[in-house]
Structure 1
Amino acid sequence: MSKPELEFHAPSGPWEKPPGSAPGIRERTLAADADGAHRTALVRWAPGTDTSASGVAVHEHWEEVYVLDGDLHDLTLGETFAKDTYACRPPGMPHGPWTSDAGVTMLVVTYPDPAV
Structure 2
Amino acid sequence: MADIRKISIEEFHAELRAQGASGKQHLAFRCPMCATVQSAASLMKAGAGENFEQVEKFLGFSCVGRFTNAGSPRRAPDDQPCNWTLGGLLRLHKLEVVDGDGECHPRFEVATAEEAAALETLNG
TM-score scaled to structure 2, two decimals?
0.25
Tell which has more relative contact order, 1 or 2 (C-alpha 8 A, sep 6+): 2
Which has a greater percent of strand?
A: 1
